[in-house]
Amino acid sequence: MSGRFTFGANGQADVYDYVYQLDDGVQRVVAAPILGGSVTVWVTPTHPLENVLTVRSRDQAGNASAPYDYVFLVAEAPGPSTVWAMDEASGTTLTNGVAGGPTATISGAARGTGRLLGTSVSTGTDRGLSFDGVNDAATTATAVVDTTKSFSVAAWLRVTPGATGYRTAISQVGSSWSGFYLQRTAAGHWAFMMPSADGSPTNVFAEAGDPAREGVWTHLAGVYDAHGAQLRLYVNGQLAATNTRIGEWSATGQLVLGRAFSSGATTDWWNGDLGEVRIWHRVIDPELDLAPLVEPVSSGVWEMEDFDEDTPRQESDLSEYQRSVTLSTGTSVLWCDGYNFSGGLCFDGSSGSADTATPVLRTEQSYTISAWVQMPATTDPAVRTAVSQSGTNSHATRIGFNGAADQFIFRTVPSDTIGAAGSTLSYVVTPAPPVGTWMHVAGVWDATAREMRLYVNGVRVSQTTAVGTPFAASGPLNIGKDKLNGVWGDYWKDGVDRVRVWTGALSDAQITALFTEP
């Protein structure tokens, strides 16, 4: 949290300015309003418990006094003051997850689906609000933040493809202008903006350099640090832009989701989706506050240890979404020895699969697919699919092995049509692995970077910019097969174990950690 500290001249009439720093950090200079005068500054500690503020006074010739160390204690950082999860199934009120926090009233915006599919046993169904870009909004009764003090605001959002102009997701109203704008600019970039005044202002932007990805769920956080008047913008948890605020004024009106206020009129109506809004009365720590919010979410874990021979034969999903896969009937798929002396599933290569009942991944968004697979005979020239998720006519994504070329493959497809072309990564295994060898394969689709990445045994072996975004596959997740031109095929032959999927793109280090698990 930020706090105000007042520096005084201690009776010295020639004090011209003060030099101060917190915990041996960056030195800052603030001028006295008159010779010998005192001045008040904002300071933002970066850690709890003991902090040291060191101050020196100087005269006009630059002669400095002896340093004075002021030791003070900082409590653990408080959590957000407002959390609107937006997970209510109906109604016009956004309930605050923080006791005593403000609610918001919905006007026009529709209840919609969030970025996560399915229902979690701990958090329920992920939902959000959809805004039409014309007159939809959600508003509080009063102000939520003091725009003269440090604060932070964050949300998951998705802008509708083709939406033009400025689009503001969150703002707080003043008399003529909003005090802050978390938005996409007319140039198509994410930004956090604060006007210099509540009338004829200079607009100060912390604007990301990369274009905003339309149709992609993105996490934005705007931070105002009163210490140094700093604006910061974080995109998916990473610092994307900074700037220095000009002027200081208090926007005392409603906090608004879905539009802004400029020149005394409502404007910049948000066109897209919004979810999981959080607000803090302090500067957030990206590691402590943002990293947990943007971490990939485990959306499916099938360890192949159930050995369930009762009809219907099923393998449990150990993630919080509990989407079991059902095995094909007969002997086309059986439990068998898996990787590292664990259980696995063995497929006959002609009709066996294990399938969820509903979709698991939003394949148009970022995701990760990981599995241990047992190498088929090198004389098998077929393409074999270990994991996929499909639509009506085609898979949107798949990982597998091409026996004719001894190569792992990761493929995405942008259109659910007959004969649709896709983007394929491949990696030739040299020398060809012995029959029965277990290998780890993972595919990552990073929707923000528009990048596909293929990993074999924990190492990134190939990457490319995809041609188009994978389509949103409405079908179940399939272990052991995929769909092409409306027909199921490419059945896996031999073993598959430890299938895991995430909503979100895992990092290289996280993929390596999967491979090194015993």
Do residues 428 and 334 share a domain?
A: yes
pLDDT at residue 431 in the model = 84
Q: Is the dihedral of CA 111, 140, 80, 294 positive or negative?
A: positive
Q: Are residues 235 and 326 in the same domain?
A: no
In this structure, are 266 and 311 located in the same domain? no
Which CATH number covers residue 68?
A: 2.60.40.10
- Tell me: do 91 and 219 sit in the same domain: yes
H or E stretch at 513: helix 508-516
What confidence score (pLDDT) does residue 159 get?
97
Structural domain of 23: 3-74
Same domain, 43 and 90: no
The per-residue pLDDT for 378 is 63
- How far is residue 352's CA from residue 355's CA, in Å, rounded to a whole number? 10
Cβ–Cβ < 8 Å for 516, 340: no
- For 216, the token pair is 């992609």
Q: How far is CA 409 from CA 343, 385, 405, in A?
A: 25, 9, 10
Separation of alpha carbons 398 and 451, rounded Å: 15
How many domains in the chain? 3
Domain check: are 235 and 119 in the same one? yes
Q: What is the reported pLDDT for 77? A: 81
> What pLDDT was estimated at residue 2?
76
The domain spanning residue 506 has which CATH number?
A: 2.60.120.200
Task: Give the three-class secondary structure for 195.
Answer: strand
pLDDT score of 377: 66
SS (H, E, C) 361-386: CCCCCCEEEEEEEECCCCCCCCEEEE
Q: End of a domain among 260, 294, 328?
A: 294
- Cβ–Cβ under 8 Å, residues 112 and 129: yes
Question: Do residues 142 and 218 both lie within one domain?
Answer: yes
Residue 467: per-residue pLDDT: 82
Contact between 442 and 509 (Cβ < 8 Å):
no
Predicted TM-score of the model (pTM)? 0.86
Q: Which segments of 242-310 does DSSP mark as H helices, in order?
A: 291-294
Same domain, 149 and 58: no
Q: What is the phi-psi region of residue 115: left when phi exceeds 0, alpha when psi lies from -120 to 50, beta otherwise?
A: alpha
Tens digit of each residue's pLDDT (9 = 90 or more) over 6-53: 999 999 999 999 999 999 888 999 999 999 999 999 888 878 889 999
Task: Answer for the pair 58, 18: CB distance below 8 angstroms, yes or no.
Answer: yes
* Model confidence pLDDT, tens digit, residues 448-504: 999 999 999 999 999 999 888 899 999 999 999 999 999 999 999 999 999 999 999
* Domain stops at, among 74, 91, 106: 74
Same domain (yes/no): 314, 194 = no
Using 70 as the pLDDT threshold, list the residues of the chain that sit under it.
1, 377-378
Whether residue 355 is found in the same domain as residue 439: yes
- Do residue 453 and residue 341 come from a single domain? yes
The pLDDT, as a whole number, for residue 444 is: 98
What Rg, from alpha-carbon coordinates, does the chain have? Answer: 28
* Shared domain check, 401 and 273: no
- Beta bridge partners, 410, equal 399, 425
Distance CA 268, CA 263 (A): 12
Domain end (from 30, 54, 74): 74
How far is C-alpha 26 from the chain's CA centre? 31
